[in-house]
Chains A and B, each alone.
Chain A
Amino acid sequence: MDEEQIYQEHVLDHYEDPYHRGRARHCTHAHEDDNPLCGDTVSIELNIDPQGRLREAYFDGDGCCISQASASMLIEKFDGRTVDEVRRFTAGDMLELFGAKLTPNRQKCCLLPWRVLQSAVFSPVKPAEGAGGKESNS
C-alpha cells in the first residue's frame, strides 16, 4: 500500500532527525515559500561562494512529514554542491531522491522544498552579495 511506503524508515529518519534544520551563519541567498493548499512552509538559507558552490545550506519550516523530510534530504544532497548542479536537478529527480511512491497530492508536499531551493540559488539576500547563481549557466 502506498501509505505504508511513504512512512518508511529513511523518511521518518529525516523527519525526526533532520539534516541542517536551522539558519546559515553567513547567509548570501535565501527563499521561502508555502503550499497554499495545505499551509506547509519551507525556508532555505544558503551561503554561495563566488565560484557558485553552496558553502552552507540550511532549511526551516513547518508542515507534514513529507515536506519536512524532503527538505532535509534535499539539503543533505546539495550541501557543498554547486548552483549548476541544483539547476540540473529536476522535479523528477527530487521524487526519485525521496524514494517513497507518492500520490499527486503528496507530490506537491515533496516538491515544495525543491521549488524553494531552485528560487533560493537566484535570490541574493543583498543585491551586492553572493556572486554565485547569476553567472553560472548550464
Chain B
Amino acid sequence: MTDATCSPPSLDPQTIRGDFPILSKVLHGGVPLVYLDNAATAQRPRQVIQAIVETYEQHYANVHRGIHWLSDQTTDLYEQSREKVRALVNAPTPAEIIFTHGATSSINLVARSWGDANVRRGDEILLTEMEHHSNLVPWRQLAERTGAIVRHVPVTEQGTLDIEAFNALLSEKTRLVAVTAVSNVLGTINPIGEIIAKAHQAGACVLVDGAQSVPHLKIDVQALNADFLAFSGHKMMGPSGVGVLYGRRELLESMPPFLGGGSMIRRVTLDGFEPADLPAKFEAGTPPIVSAIGLGAAIDYLNQVGLDAVTRHEQDLTRYAHEVLGELGELRILGPAPEEKSAIVSFVFHGNRPHAHDVAQLLDRNGVAIRAGHHCAMPLHKRFGVNATARASFYLYNTRQEIDLLARSLQQVRQVFRRRT
C-alpha cells in the first residue's frame, strides 16, 4: 500500500456527523436514524443551515433590483455562489452558470430553448436506457413537438452502457446525446469523456445529467468538453429548490430565452423585448435567492472536506456494502462491480420475495431509511425484469457500522418471512 507520507488526506465520518443535526435523530422511541437514501436527497450540515438563517436575518432583499445597501449585499452573496459553482465544475466563466430550480428544470430549459430552436423532424435524440425520467420525458416531449426520433443506448446485463451499440446508433442524424454521468439506480459511472468526444465527431451536442455525479465525483466541464451539465443543489447538501445548468457560452448565447419575465430582459416595449445578457437571460423572475446562497455554503463545505476524500470514503463504503450484502447470499445486486460505480447499491431478494416495499418498511423499524420502488427509472427496471428495487445510497457521513446494521436488518427481514415457509 501507499506509505503514510504520500497517502491522500482521508475523512473521518464521526467528526463530519457532528455537523449534521438531523443525523442524531432517534426514531420510534429508541433507534438512531441510519440515513441511506442520499441518492434521493442528501442531508445538510449546520454550516449550510446557518448560512440560510444568516441570509434571512442579515442580508435578505431581492437581487439585482433595489438601489439600496441590502439588495447589494444579497446580490453579492448570490453572485459569489455562482462563482463557487463555476469553480466546482471548472466552467470558463460565471456567465455560463445558470441558477434553475433543479436538474429537472435545467434539462427542461435545454429541451425547450435549445431543442425547439435546433431540432427538426427526422433528427435523432440519443438517450440511454438508464436515464432518470427527468432525462427521458423532456426529450420525448421535444420529439412530440418537432417530429424528431428518440433512440436509446441499451444497458448490458452488467449494468454498463453498451458502447458498441452507442457507436452504431450515433450518426450524422444525431442532434443531441443526453446521458447521465452516474446511474441513480445502478450507480454505474459512465464514460462521459468518450461519449462526448464521439458525439462531437458526429456533430451532436451533449447534455450531461450530473445529478448523481456532481455531489460525489470531480467533474471538469472544460476537460470533458461538455456542452451542457445539469444538477441539483439538494443532492449535494444544499437546499432544495435550486439547481444548476452549465452551458457553453456560444450555445447559451445562440439560444432563445425560455421563461419570460422580469430580470431576463434588457428592455421591454409594448411591441417586444430585448433579452438580457447571460446569465440573466435564463433567470426570469425572482430566482431561488437563499437556496442559491445555501448551495454556495454546501460547496464550501464539500471543498473543506475535499471532494476526493469524499469519493474515496464512498468507494470504501460501496465495496464494503457489496461484501456484506453479498455474504447474505440471498440478494441480487444490480449494476457493476464496486470499482466501476458510485455510492449506490440497489438490490432485490432472489425471486423478488420479500418485495422491495416490504423490505423498506421493515428496515424502517430499525431506523434504516432506504428507498424502494422504480426510482424514477421505469424503463431501466423493465430492462432488468423487476418492477421495484431496494436502494441504499451513501454520502460522506455514512459509516461501515451503518452498513453492518443494514445487513443485520436485512437478515431480520428475511426472518419475518422465512419462519413461515
B374–A65 touching, CB < 8 Å: no
> Of all chain A residues, which has the CB nearest B373?
A38
Which residues on the B side are within 8 Å of A63 (C-beta)?
Answer: 355, 357, 387-388
Residue B358 CB within 8 A of the other chain: yes
CB distance from A21 to the nearest CB of B (A): 13
The stretch among A1-9, A43-51, A75-83, A84-92 that forms the contact with chain B is: A1-9
A6–B361 touching, CB < 8 Å: yes
Most A CB atoms within 10 A — which of B354, B356, B357? Answer: B357
> Of all chain A residues, which has the CB nearest B363?
A3
Residue B68 CB within 8 A of the other chain: no
Residue B5 CB within 8 A of the other chain: no
CB distance from A86 to the nearest CB of B (A): 27
> Of all chain A residues, which has the CB nearest B378?
A39
Residue B362 CB within 8 A of the other chain: yes
B388–A39 touching, CB < 8 Å: yes
CB-CB contacts of A80-115 with B at 8 A, as 1s and 0s?
Answer: 000000000000000000000000001001000000
B420–A12 touching, CB < 8 Å: yes
> Of all chain A residues, which has the CB nearest B387?
A39
> Of all chain A residues, which has the CB nearest B372?
A38
Residue B416 CB within 8 A of the other chain: yes
Residues 344-375 (chain B) with a chain A CB within 8 angstroms: 352, 354-358, 361-362, 364-365, 372-374
Q: Which of A3, A62, A65 contacts B365 (CB 8 A)?
A: A3
Residue A40 CB within 8 A of the other chain: yes
Most B CB atoms within 10 A — which of A4, A7, A39? Answer: A39
A64 to B357: give the CA distance in the assembly, Å.
6
Which residues on the A side are within 8 Å of B378 (C-beta)?
Answer: 39
Most B CB atoms within 10 A — which of A1, A41, A65? Answer: A65
> Of all chain A residues, which has the CB nearest B361?
A3
Which residues on the A side are within 8 Å of B361 (C-beta)?
Answer: 3, 6, 106
A7–B362 touching, CB < 8 Å: yes
A106 to B388: give the CA distance in the assembly, Å.
15
Which residues on the A side are within 8 Å of B362 (C-beta)?
Answer: 3, 7
CB distance from B159 to the nearest CB of A (A): 19
A77 to B40: give the CA distance in the assembly, Å.
40
CB distance from B208 to the nearest CB of A (A): 28
Q: Which of B354, B358, B373 contacts A37 (CB 8 A)?
A: B373
CB distance from A14 to the nearest CB of B (A): 11
A65–B355 touching, CB < 8 Å: yes
B387–A41 touching, CB < 8 Å: yes
CB distance from B294 to the nearest CB of A (A): 29
Which residues on the A side are within 8 Å of B387 (C-beta)?
Answer: 38-41, 62-63
B365–A39 touching, CB < 8 Å: no
Most B CB atoms within 10 A — which of A1, A63, A64, A109? Answer: A64
A65–B354 touching, CB < 8 Å: yes
Residue B421 CB within 8 A of the other chain: yes
> Of all chain A residues, which has the CB nearest B419?
A12
A7 to B355: give the CA distance in the assembly, Å.
13
CB distance from B325 to the nearest CB of A (A): 20
Which residues on the A side are within 8 Å of B364 (C-beta)?
Answer: 3
Which residues on the B side are within 8 Å of A39 (C-beta)?
Answer: 373-374, 378, 381, 387-388
Which residues on the A side are within 8 Å of B372 (C-beta)?
Answer: 38
Which residues on the A side are within 8 Å of B373 (C-beta)?
Answer: 37-39
Supplied contacts A16-B420, A41-B387, A66-B358, 16 more A-B pairs, CB within 8 Å: A1-B365, A3-B361, A7-B416, A12-B417, A16-B417, A38-B387, A39-B374, A39-B381, A39-B387, A40-B357, A40-B387, A64-B355, A65-B355, A65-B357, A65-B358, A109-B357
Closest A-B pairs by Cβ, 3 of them: A39-B387, A64-B357, A64-B355
Query: Which residues of A are in contact with B by a Cβ distance under 8 Å?
Result: 1, 3-4, 6-7, 12-13, 16, 37-41, 62-66, 106, 109
In the complex, 18 of the A-B residue pairs with CB atoms within 8 angstroms, ordered by the A residue number, are A3-B365, A4-B365, A13-B420, A16-B421, A38-B372, A39-B374, A39-B378, A40-B387, A62-B352, A63-B355, A63-B357, A64-B355, A64-B356, A64-B357, A64-B388, A66-B357, A66-B358, A106-B361
